[in-house]
Structure 1
Amino acid sequence: MTHNDTYQVSIVKFGTRSTLKSDVYLNYHIYKTADGPVDMDYFFWVIRNGQRTVVVDTGFSRQGGESRKRTFLIEPIEAFAALGVDPAEAPQVLVTHAHYDHIGNLDLFPDSNIIIARAELDFWLSSFAARKQFQHSIETEELDYLKRAAGEGRVTTFDDDYTVAPGIQMSRVGGHTPGQSIVTVQTSEGQVVLASDAIHYYEEFEQDLPFMFVNDVREMYAGFDTIRQLIDTPASHLVTGHDPSTLDRFTPVTAGPLAGLAATIGRKEEQS
Structure 2
Amino acid sequence: MSRVQMPDSSRLPKMETSEDGIYQVYSLCYARARSRHVHENFMIRDMHDGPMPMDFNLWILRNAHRTVLVDTGFSQRAANERRPLDFDPIEALARLDIDPDAIEDVIISHLHFDHAGNIDRFAKARFHVQDAEVAYATGRCMCDRTMRLGFDVEDVVTLVRHTYAERVCFHDGDATPLPGISLHVLPGHTAGIQAVRVMTPRGPVVLASDVSHFYANFLRRGPFAATLDATETLRSYEKLKEIAGAVERIIPGHDPKVRMLYPSYTFNGIELTALHEEPKQHDINTLARLESFA
Q: TM-score, with normalisation over the residues of structure 1? A: 0.90
Distance in 1 (CA, whole Å) between partners of 2:70 and 2:245 is 24
For the 8 Å contact 2:186–2:240, the answer to whether it is kept is: no
Structure 2: unaligned runs, 5 residues or longer = 2-17, 278-294
Counterpart position of 1:7: 23
Counterpart position of 2:182: 169
| Percent of matched pairs sharing the same residue | 30
Bigger strand share: 1
- RMSD across aligned positions (CA): 1.7
Code of the aligned partner of 1:43? N
1:119-140 CA-partner distances (Å, limit 9, x unpaired)? 0011111131242223221211
Distance in 2 (CA, whole Å) between partners of 1:255 and 1:109 is 22
Q: Kindly report structure 1 stretches of 4+ aligned residues shifted beyond 4 Å.
A: none
1:145-164 alignment runs, 5 A limit: 145-164=158-177
Distance in 2 (CA, whole Å) between partners of 1:83 and 1:196 is 22
Counterpart position of 1:60: 74
For the 8 Å contact 1:8–1:187, the answer to whether it is kept is: yes
1:201-240 alignment runs, 5 A limit: 201-232=214-245, 237-240=249-252
In the alignment, which of 72, 89, 93 is matched to residue 80 of structure 1?
A: 93
Code of the aligned partner of 1:139? D
Counterpart position of 1:243: 255
In the alignment, which of 62, 77, 97 is matched to residue 110 of structure 2?
A: 97
How many equivalent residue pairs?
Answer: 260
Distance in 1 (CA, whole Å) between partners of 2:230 and 2:97 is 39
SS of the residue corresponding to residue 79 of structure 2 reads helix
Residues 171/231 of structure 1: CA separation in 2 closer, same or farther (3 Å cut): closer
Counterpart position of 2:119: 106
Q: Which moved more, 1:156-165 or 1:49-58?
A: 156-165
Structure 1: unaligned runs, 5 residues or longer = 268-272
Query: More relative contact order in 1 or in 2 (CA 8 Å, sep 6+)?
Result: 1
Code of the aligned partner of 1:266? H
Q: TM-score, with normalisation over the residues of structure 2? A: 0.84
Counterpart position of 2:41: 24
Code of the aligned partner of 1:241? G
1:192-233 CA-partner distances (Å, limit 9, x unpaired)? 000000010011121111011111111111110011112336
Code of the aligned partner of 1:42? F
Residues 130/40 of structure 1: CA separation in 2 closer, same or farther (3 Å cut): farther
SS of the residue corresponding to residue 80 of structure 1 reads helix
